[in-house]
Structure 1
Amino acid sequence: MPLGRMFSVLWSANALSNLADGIAFVSMPLLAASMTDDPRLVAGLATLYALVRLLVALPVGVWVDRADRRTLMVTANLLRGGALVALALTVHLGVSSLVLLYATMAVVGTLESMVDSAALTMVPSLVGRDRLDTANSRIAAGQLIADELAGPPLGGFLFALAAAAPVLAMGGLWALAGLVALALPVRRPSRASADAVVPRPSVSAEARAGIVWLAHHRVVGSLALVGALASVGYMLPFSILVLVAEERLGLDGTGYGLLLAFSALGGLLGSALAPRLRRRLGYRWTIVASLALAAVTLTGLSLTRDPLVAGVLLALYILHAVIWSICALSLRQRLVPDELLGRVGATARVLGLLGLAVGSALGGVLAAVDLVIPVVAGAVVFAGCCVLAAVTLRGDLTADSSRHSDGHPVANTPVEGH
């Protein structure tokens, strides 16, 4: 089903960006490892990247609501493309350093948050509300193919050719994504907001407006809470999955990579099934069923030592994750006013990132006792999420988003560009 030329442009820019992300997933740790033998400094690159994305999420959400989103996508992609081309030049000339790599990835993390948020908030303006599930499914499928299936092996291949090669490829792909995004429509201010002179609130005040809106909206707030808890449940087993693969499934590094690649196929199936399931079951029961599937698959993973069975279970687990993500995102896009999409999405993202951090830390602590415990704990968390979603996501989930669940109108913060 065609979704229009403008959506195709957005999808293409996003796919190019995702391919660069996939290359970075493999090549950046390899580049760090070529500069230092200290595993703490190599692992610190990923820690820095996650921390930067957490710290900038709320301010970025404000700017996505303030400014033209196409301009943000174009500018941020061109800037991170330029930063990576400059880094590639230093690597090629042999004058790069770990400090420079860290600084570059901090800049890239900030700009990636801006691109991702701007892209997701543009989707409702490019497709009809009744087609959001299909649009988000196609974006998810493109991301899985580029980020998890094509990007990582390409990054490893390019690094084997030359250390600077994957860095240059990433910079080129991000710059190309920025140029493609130039074809997207500019968001025009409404006549009322263009004529009125309204003092702009501070960034912190506008960020708080998004937090307050989320906290008072029954459906969107519940989705954010379930998402945060699901992030804990996700990282409990996945933070130590490599150890489970080695010690319980008997897999070496190659086997572990194949296991992850096979599980990504479940995500592709999930992206195809999500719109159909949502139309048949509705948002509430599709979300509940996906969370229940996560609990079941993690329970099975805790019991098996067969790598083939584990591969099927992980594929079903990633299938759940994609279906959940598509439904939660589509609901948020339906229910949140356009002028708040960036800030509300940023608040939900912060909760999810905090959940990932908590789950990762707990997974390590529990695995020190027994490797099975984090997997079982993840299943328990998802069972709780399933119950919470069934209780809170009731009634008409696509009701008028301009009101709270108690029927009172929401006061929107004035935002430039609307």
Structure 2
Amino acid sequence: MSLGRPFRAPRPFRAPRPFRALWTASAASNLADGIAFVAMPLLAASLTDDPRLVAGLATTYALVRLLVALPIGVWVDRVDRRTMLVVANLIRGAVVVGLAVSITREAGSLPLLYAAFAAIGTLESAADNASVSLLPAIVPDRQLDRANGRISAAQLVADEFAGPPLGGLLFAVAAAAPVYLMGGLWAVAGIVALALPIRRLGATTGTELTAREPLVREALQGARWLAGNRTVGGLALIGALASVGYMLPFSILVLFADERLDLDAFGYGVILAVSALGGLVGSFTTARVRRWIGYRRTIVASLLTGATSLVALSVTTNGAVAAALLAVYILHAVVWGICATSLRQRLVPDELRGRVNAASRVLSLLGLALGSALGGLLAVVSLPLPIAVGGVVFVACAVLAATLLPKANDSA
């Protein structure tokens, strides 16, 4: 391994057939996620005018994902990951179609919506972990950066550009219309995933299905491995702190856009759409930059870029400048995310990958919750303050990356 290497033009990314199936399933699933981002809150608002109950959907979703992360990580390592991905998407589609039918028959209710959202959160956790854990089995190590970049690009297009406006448009036609489409897209994702290879547990992992340790003990094995590995444990710690830094500004960004940038709802939507363009740039450039300067330098540079963009954002009052700075910020987030995911995929043993992914995810979810709470508290003092503090947090992340990540980490 070496920190950096002389720049050479990378070979074209020739996606193997299983990767194309995984990418297609991911794109369909993320388009459903983007539709749900708009349609589900609108559906909740049509059932109640209590803002606490509407906001409670997001809280329920976050809590469910936190609670199920570790058990799901164990099952991702226990069973065939293709099967888990297929089943999770098919059940998710069936749950949502059932919800759509109840809406069509005017039998929809808030408790039913909450139950469906909790099921969606649980199944999404299973599908996401299975997908990330499965990728190293179908793509060579040297291609993981580019493969993760392609998946990230599809996610951005579906989640940020296509899904939300499509969800709003369909809801205006009929409340159940976007829900039916979500169910169909998740069903398509499950069917397409059938083209993925089956994981032969006994042959490839040495794991005997007949002798299992208790669920909690298996989950702790992943957490202990994470804590004992300097690179992957360091990435998890940085990821948790970066989640705090992310939510500090984004928890109050809508207020900042209104009071400091003087933007209406449309203007706020525009700057968010523009910010996603930065993510697309990051999706297609990360592999090249990483190949040139190495993982460690790429991660440190991306975190410092995020810090700079937030500090600059905290002092601007111009909407166009804010949009550009947010695009730079999202670019950094995508670069960091691709590098962290690829390194974890390369370094974690296959038989522990689901559990280590889950333990890392728990730390990130806790960071998101803490960042959201701190953002609200700091905004009471001054609206730009949580954004500036977010920048300081990312400086701390960069220092941690420079300290904890080994200089020799370009290949695993």
State the TM-score, normalized to the length of structure 1: 0.94
Alpha-carbon separation, structure 2, partners of 1:11 and 1:148 = 17
1:308 aligns with 2:328: no
User: Of 269, 283, 289, which residue of structure 1 is paired with 2:281?
Assistant: 269
1:378 aligns with 2:399: no
- Residue type of the alignment partner of 1:97: S
1:340 aligned residue: 352
Asked if 1:205 corresponds to 2:220, the answer is no
Q: Deviations over 1:7-30 (max 9, x none)?
A: 000000010000000000000000
Show the counterpart of 2:408: 396
In the alignment, the residues of structure 1 paired with residue 246 and residue 229 of structure 2 have an alpha-carbon distance, to the nearest angstrom, of 25
For 1:56, the equivalent position in structure 2 comes to 68
One of 165, 168, 189 as aligned partner of 1:153: 165
How far does residue 398 in structure 1 lie from its aligned partner after superposition? 5.4
Listed one character per residue, the Cα deviations across residues 104-137 of structure 1 (whole Å, up to 9, x for unaligned) are: 1101110000000000111100010010000000
Q: What's the counterpart of residue 65 of structure 1?
A: 77
- Per-residue CA shift, 1:81-124, capped at 9, x if unaligned? 00111100110111110000000110111000000000011110
Query: For 2:369, which of 334, 357, 370 is the aligned residue?
Result: 357
Contact 2:205 2:351 in 1 (8 A): no
The code of the aligned residue for 1:94 comes to E
State yes or no: 1:3 paired with 2:8.
no
Deviation at 1:193, TM superposition (A): 6.8
Paired residues, number: 400
1:208-227 map, 5 Å: 208-227=220-239
Paired residues of 1:266 and 1:318 also in contact (CA < 8 A): yes
TM-superposed deviation, 1:195: 9.6
Q: Distance in 1 between matches of 2:306 and 2:190?
A: 36
Secondary structure (helix, strand or coil) at the match of 2:47 reads: coil
Q: Is the 8 A contact 1:293 1:317 kept in 2?
A: yes
Alignment partner of 1:121 out of 130, 133, 141: 133
1:171 aligns with 2:171: no
Aligned pair partner of 1:39 in 44, 47, 51:
51
Counterpart contact for 1:335–1:399, Cα < 8 Å:
no
- Asked if 1:240 corresponds to 2:239, the answer is no
1:324 aligns with 2:341: no
Offset, 1:239: 0.2
Q: Distance in 1 between matches of 2:70 and 2:392?
A: 30
Q: Which moved more, 1:184-193 or 1:89-98?
A: 184-193
Contact 2:85 2:193 in 1 (8 A): yes
Q: Secondary structure at the match of 1:34?
A: helix
Aligned: 1:102 with 2:114:
yes
Report how far residue 359 of structure 1 moved. 0.3
What whole-Å deviation, never above 9, does each CA across 1:245-287 have from its counterpart, x for those lacking one?
A: 0000000000000110010000000101100110011000000
Contact 1:49 1:109 in 2 (8 A): yes
Structure 1 residue matching 2:345: 3-state secondary structure: helix
Q: Mean alpha-carbon deviation: is it higher for 183-192 or for 220-229?
A: 183-192
Deviations 1:125-155 (A, max 9, x none): 0010010000000000000001111000000
Q: What per-residue deviation string (whole Å, max 9, x for no partner) do you get for residues 284-328 of structure 1?
A: 000000000011000100111010110000000000000000000
Q: Percent identity?
A: 62
Question: Partners in 2 of 1:399 and 1:172 — Cα distance?
Answer: 40
**RMSD (Å), alpha carbons:** 1.3
How far apart in 1 are the matches of 2:307 and 2:114? 37
Residue 87 of structure 2 corresponds to: 75
The reply to whether residue 287 of structure 1 matches residue 274 of structure 2 is no
Gapped runs of 5+ residues in structure 1? Answer: 401-418
TM-fit CA distance, 1:395? 3.0
Q: Aligned partner of 1:49: which letter?
A: Y
Alpha-carbon offset, residue 3 of structure 1: 1.6
